[in-house]
Amino acid sequence: MNLDGIIRLRPSDRRYRSSERGQVIVIVALFMVVLLGAAGLVLDVGRAYYIQRALQASTDASALAAASELPDASAARAAGQEYGGAAGAKNARFNVPGVRTTVTAKCVAVSPCNPVNAVVVEQVANVQTIFAGVVGIDEFDVHARATACSPCSSRPLDVMLVLDRTGSMCMTHSGTSDPSCSDLNNAREGLKAFLRAMDPTLDYVGLAVFPPARNLSSRCSTPTSSSNYAYDLASAPYVIAGLSSDYKSGNNLNASSQLVSTIECVRGAGSTSYATAIEKAQGELDAHGRADVQDIIVFFSDGAANYGPSYYGNSSPYRRQPCHQGVSSAGTVKSRGTIIYSIGYDLNALDGGANIFESYTGANESPAITAYAALQAIASSPETFYNQPGPGDVDQIYAAIAGDLTGSRLLE
């Protein structure tokens, strides 16, 4: 047999080739481990990135909630924890485990600071890996940080608060008498929350009410039915605390301020008339406001206008269309550049005619209009209209309006 060209393997050569195959298997196995580890690391990093975005959203919400409590540093820290991402907090997420929240209050150079005007929220979540453990990475620490300020601007404001203190504010939703005047007390707390969030070095604030007082010395008296709760007295003051900046002392409300003491003592009774109250609020801004300062009216009511002062005359829209006239008066005010925030409280109340617009004759106003539509039309925009906050939400609504005015926002 011709054996030319045939390679004969000696036993030692076979052992060498067998050894090579064994080495390749080891190399391939090691390569697969590295490849799987790298692929697992990519998946775990992607998951960590997703969790970081969720954690950042939680951190932003926490910072904004905390800023709404400034300049009270203690309340800001508590709100930051309450709205953070830790277990049991309002922004906790099941897919972001083990969150630790730190809230710090400080001063930043965006506005006057007394004693703090910003909060920093830092959150850390410990994320266990699923695949990267193959290459020795068992967990990631995911971080998020947000800073929010309030106030965030040095823009001064002149603000008139307009408060509905009619009889329905001392009645229950179903129309029974409420001697404790819970709704009026809720509104009172909202007004004080607003003042706490404002800066007296920048912002002047005053108070108008409807029905008006018979005179300034009776601003703390319960309105009486004579002269239809003072509506028919042309001299009756709607503005019972003029624009002032003494409503705070340090971080606390100044109890000796006429504005604060009037908010505390104001009493409720009587029917509802919007238009003149809005006009008188603007009149105070015109008379005692500052030049080149933004005018603001924050209007609060729990129902429909059902009266108009008699001195306008029986054919006047103030008498025959008190709701439409309220919208018209607000329109005139807004056309001059004043921003109106409108809060419609308990607009679906069931008490005797609270949400039925009536003329002075007792007949329904024509054309028909709902309480909701009226309060919405009084506001400057849909964004400045707040519809039916619950009893526990009024102070939060006022604080939110203050935050909007003073520019609460995220800085980073």
Q: What confidence score (pLDDT) does residue 208 get? A: 98
Residue 349 has pLDDT above 60, yes or no: no
Q: What confidence score (pLDDT) does residue 301 get? A: 94
Poorest-pLDDT segment among 7-11, 235-239, 280-284: 7-11
pLDDT in tens, 138-158: 677 889 999 999 878 778 999
Structure tokens at 376: 């919405």
Residue 353 has pLDDT above 50, yes or no: no
Mean pLDDT of the chain, nearest integer: 85
Angstrom distance (rounded) from CA 216 to CA 199: 26
**What is the average per-residue pLDDT within 346-353?**
60
pLDDT in tens, 150-203: 878 778 999 999 999 999 899 887 778 899 999 999 999 999 999 988 889 899
Given CA atoms 240, 246, 250, 255 in this order, what sign does their dihedral have?
negative
State the residue for tokens 């203050």.
Answer: 402
Angstrom distance (rounded) from CA 211 to CA 216: 13
More confident residue, 381 or 90: 381
User: Closest Cα to residue 158, out of 277, 244, 241?
Assistant: 244
Residue 318 has pLDDT above 90, yes or no: yes
Q: What confidence score (pLDDT) does residue 176 get? A: 84
User: Closest Cα to residue 338, out of 278, 276, 263?
Assistant: 278
Q: What confidence score (pLDDT) does residue 251 get? A: 76
Q: What confidence score (pLDDT) does residue 297 get? A: 98
Q: What confidence score (pLDDT) does residue 1 get? A: 46
Q: What confidence score (pLDDT) does residue 92 get? A: 85
Dmax of the chain from CA atoms?
Answer: 138
Residue 137 has pLDDT above 80, yes or no: no
Angstrom distance (rounded) from CA 72 to CA 80: 12
pLDDT in tens, 362-389: 778 888 888 889 999 999 999 999 986 6
With b meaning 16 or more CB within 10 Å and e meaning fewer, what string describes 232-261?
ebeebbbbbbbbbbebbeeeebbeebbbbb
Structure tokens at 370: 């709902």
The highest-confidence range among 62-71, 79-88, 101-110, 229-238, by mean pLDDT, is 229-238
Residues with Cβ within 8 Å of 116's Cβ and at least 6 positions away in sequence, in order, are 70, 71, 73, 76, 105, 106, 107
Angstrom distance (rounded) from CA 210 to CA 301: 9
User: Closest Cα to residue 140, out of 120, 125, 119?
Assistant: 125
**Domain edges within the chain:** 20-149, 157-410
Contact in structure between 163 and 300 (CB atoms under 8 Å): yes
Contact in structure between 127 and 97 (CB atoms under 8 Å): yes
Helix (H, G, I), strand (E, B), or coil: what is residue 351? coil
If pLDDT is split at 50, 70 and 90, which confidence band does 274 have?
very high
How, if at all, do strands 252-253 and 203-210 pair? unpaired
User: Closest Cα to residue 119, out of 89, 58, 78, 87?
Assistant: 78
Contact in structure between 59 and 88 (CB atoms under 8 Å): no
Q: What confidence score (pLDDT) does residue 206 get? A: 98
Beta strands in 132-280 (DSSP E): 139-149, 157-164, 203-210, 239-244, 248-249, 252-253
Q: What confidence score (pLDDT) does residue 44 get? A: 63
Contact in structure between 247 and 259 (CB atoms under 8 Å): yes
Sheet holding 99-106, edge to edge: 99-106, 118-128, 139-149, 409-410
CATH code, 157-410: 3.40.50.410
**What is the average per-residue pLDDT within 65-70?**
86
The highest-confidence range among 76-85, 94-103, 351-360, 383-392, by mean pLDDT, is 76-85
